[in-house]
Amino acid sequence: MQYPKPILDLISSYMKLPGIGKKTAVRMAFHTLTMKDKDIEEFSKALANLKKDLCPCSICHRINEHEVCNICSDKDRNESIICVVESDQDLMAMENTEQFFGHYHVLGGVISPMNGIGPNDINLRSLLERAKDPKVKEIILATNSTPEGEGTASFILRILQNTDIKVTRIAQGISFGSDLEFVDEMTLARALSARVEL
**What would the x/- binding string for Zn ion be over residues 1 to 40, using CB under 5 A?**
----------------------------------------
Number of residues lying near Zn ion (CB under 5 A): 6
Q: Of 29, 72, 111, 124, which one interacts with Zn ion (CB under 5 A)?
A: 72
Q: What share of the chain is helix, strand, coil (3-state, %, to 5)?
A: 45, 15, 40
- Kindly state whether residue 59 participates in binding Zn ion, applying the rule CB under 5 A: yes
- Kindly state whether residue 69 participates in binding Zn ion, applying the rule CB under 5 A: yes
Q: Are 92 and 150 in contact (CB under 8 A)?
A: no
Residue 189 φ then ψ, to 5°: -65, -40
- Kindly state whether residue 83 participates in binding Zn ion, applying the rule CB under 5 A: no
As measured in angstroms, the least distance from the Cβ of 123 to Zn ion is 11
- Residues counted in the chain: 198
Pairing of strands 196-197, 166-169: antiparallel
Point out which residues bind Zn ion (CB under 5 A).
57, 59-60, 62, 69, 72
